[in-house]
Amino acid sequence: MKYILASGSPRRKELLSKVVPEFDIIPAVSEENCDKDEPSEIVEELSFQKASEIFHKNLTESREGFVVIGADTVVSYNHRVLGKPSGTREAFEMVKMLQGQTHSVFTGVTLFFADNNEIKHVTFSECTKVHVAKMTDEEIQDYVDSGEPLDKAGAYGIQGLFGRYITGIDGDYYNVVGLPVARLYQELKKNELI
């Protein structure tokens, strides 16, 4: 079986290597378009779009023996979905909102594959609750100035400098990083893709 990760995220690349030993990376490039409101539905829809794009665009001949994996992650707090911040000001506002609170991280994953010349897909999402310590404005600004939050949903990376402010999680740690490793492995196994 050959695997393709439809993401250029170095974090997802590292996490997928815990599930399958070898895979290619072909990042999805189409503009994301979603009309869903619920965080789980948003990440499922966006992961579907990414995996579908790469499966249909790059596998024009035999699709047998290939699995395309698409993923998307959002942070949700107080009925508000937080994607990647547009700049340092928005990053500061997001971290300020999350400090001292508990929020949810949703990652959606879609697997596209062919079985007996029939195109199939499996889509699922995982949710992890994240507890953040209280932070001073100076701590928030120092974190934003590090540049770390600018390319991450919710303006933070649990695996980086922000880890010092995480007081606990309920659920899969890797889900917060960007790929629910255990669930992905189970879904691949269940669909005889591994």
Residue 155's Cβ-side half-sphere holds a number of Cα atoms within 13 Å equal to 25
* Structure tokens that stand for 191 in this block: 């669909």
Catalytic residue among 24, 35, 37, 72: 72
Give the chain's largest Cα–Cα span.
58
Q: What Rg do the C-alpha atoms of the chain give, in angstroms?
A: 17
72 classed as catalytic? yes
Distance CA 146, CA 158 (A): 14
C-alpha 17: how far from its chain's center? 15
Distance CA 48, CA 54 (A): 10
- Where b means 16+ CB within 10 Å and e means fewer, 164-179 reads ebbeebeebebbbbbb
Give catalytic residues, as residue numbers.
72
